[in-house]
Amino acid sequence: MITTEDLTRKFGTLVAVDNLNIEIKEGDVYGFLGPNGAGKTTTIRMLATLIKPTSGTACIMGFDVRNEPNRARRAIGIMPERPGFYEEMSGRKQLRFYGEFYKIPREKLDPRIEELMDKVGMSRFIDANIK
């Protein structure tokens, strides 16, 4: 279940999401439709705990995205519009991005990235941008 109450996100003076109230029950299929700049991506980013709301609340399966982001994150899956690789990021930054999303501590994450890149023979490409 996903619920929001007066969920708002501002970027300076721009109000990207303004007092959004939704309730999506378990098993429902829901889509965000609207023109560019309507707040669809910002809403998803708040629900995914990637950015914090300016005000209001959002809960995923009962877990508040602001106060319990790790628990909320474990309850969701995200399918981005574009592939999961960002061409402007190096392989290292890409792997760190996903590792940090799952709250893997940096002191464990960096050695693990090195280990995996060695294992697949890609170490020399780790700092090159993804193409």
DSSP class of 119: H
pLDDT at 11: 94
pLDDT at 88: 73
Report if residue 115 sits inside a domain: yes
Q: Are residues 62 and 98 in the same domain?
A: no
pLDDT at 78: 67
Cβ contact 54:10 at 8 Å = yes
Query: Over pLDDT 90: what percentage of the chain?
Result: 50
Cβ contact 32:40 at 8 Å = yes
Q: What is the CATH number of the domain that holds 48?
A: 3.40.50.300
**Using CA atoms, how far apart are residues 2 and 98, in angstroms rounded to an integer?**
23
The parent domain of residue 112 ranges over 91-125
pLDDT at 85: 64
pLDDT digits (tens, 9 = 90+) for 54-80: 999 999 999 999 999 888 988 887 666
Query: At a CB cut-off of 8 Å and minimum separation 6, what does 103 contact?
Result: 70, 73
Kindly report the average pLDDT of the chain as a whole number: 88
Q: Are residues 27 and 62 in the same domain?
A: yes
Report if residue 81 sits inside a domain: no
Q: Is the pLDDT of residue 52 over 90?
A: yes
pLDDT digits (tens, 9 = 90+) for 90-118: 888 888 888 877 778 889 999 999 999 99
pLDDT at 82: 60
Give all strands (DSSP E) within the chain, no chain letters: 2-11, 14-24, 55-60, 63-64
Binned at pLDDT 50, 70 and 90, residue 81 comes out as low
Q: Is the pLDDT of residue 42 over 90?
A: yes
